[in-house]
Every structure is written in structure tokens, then in C-alpha cells.
Amino acid sequence: MSLLYTLLIILGAVIAFSLFNFFQQKKVLKTLNQDEFRAGYRKAQLIDVREQKEYDGGHILGARNIPMSQLKMRMKEIRKDKPVYLYCQSGLRSGRAAQQLYRKGYRQLYHLQGGFKQWTGKIRSK
């Protein structure tokens, strides 16, 4: 029985952490649908947080690639006084990137609902 209780405690902790993360992201980041995203990203810093290979395979026209794996080292490339529009493949990494940026003082954070895989606008491939 103690194994069952241990597993239940672990499961409860995972669920609690996931809920905390979900509500934390809602607080620090605004999720935009494609029309809202398209309407604002040209006046903002458009950052693709996917890895270089994913970016090279196709990205939103005008996006700068700062992979999630390099974000801490390259954060100085992103201005705090301008809106930051983030996207990744599905929306998970851009949410985590926004949390990192928020902890460093960034406040105008937005991301694309559904990520790049849902994008129907103009793209560029290498």
C-alpha cells in the first residue's frame, strides 16, 4: 500500500505543478489568435524560440531565431521597452520562454495560439 500512496503523492505533485505553471503563464503572457498576432507582430520583436533546424525549415516572415536553449545567453538581444511576440512549434516552449523573460523584467509578452504549426500567414524557408 505504501507504494500506491507514494505514487498518488507524486501524481498529485505533478498535477499541482502543472496547474501552477498553467496559471503562472496566464499571468505573465497573453495568448493571441492568428489575427491578433498578425495585427501586432510587425510593431514588436518577433522571436521564434524553436531550434535552428526547425527555424530553417520554415518561419514567420520577419522572425528572429533565438532558440529556447540559448535564451538565457541571448536575452540581452531582446529589448524590454518593446512588445515581445513569441512562437514555437505548438505553444509550449514559447510559454516557458515568456516565463523566463518575465522573471528578468519583461512585461509585454505575447505568444501565438497553437504555434507555428497552426500559422497560415506568410512564411520563409531557407
Which residues, at least 6 apart from 52, have a Cβ–Cβ distance to it below 8 Å?
65, 67
Three cell numbers, residue 97? 520562454
Which residues, at least 6 apart from 89, have a Cβ–Cβ distance to it below 8 Å?
50, 54, 115, 116, 117
Spell out where the chain has E strands.
30-32, 45-48, 59-60, 64-65, 84-87, 109-112, 123-124
Q: Which of 46, 47, 68, 88 is catalytic?
A: 88
Q: Is 20 a catalytic residue?
A: no
Three cell numbers, residue 19? 496547474
Q: Which residues are catalytic?
A: 88
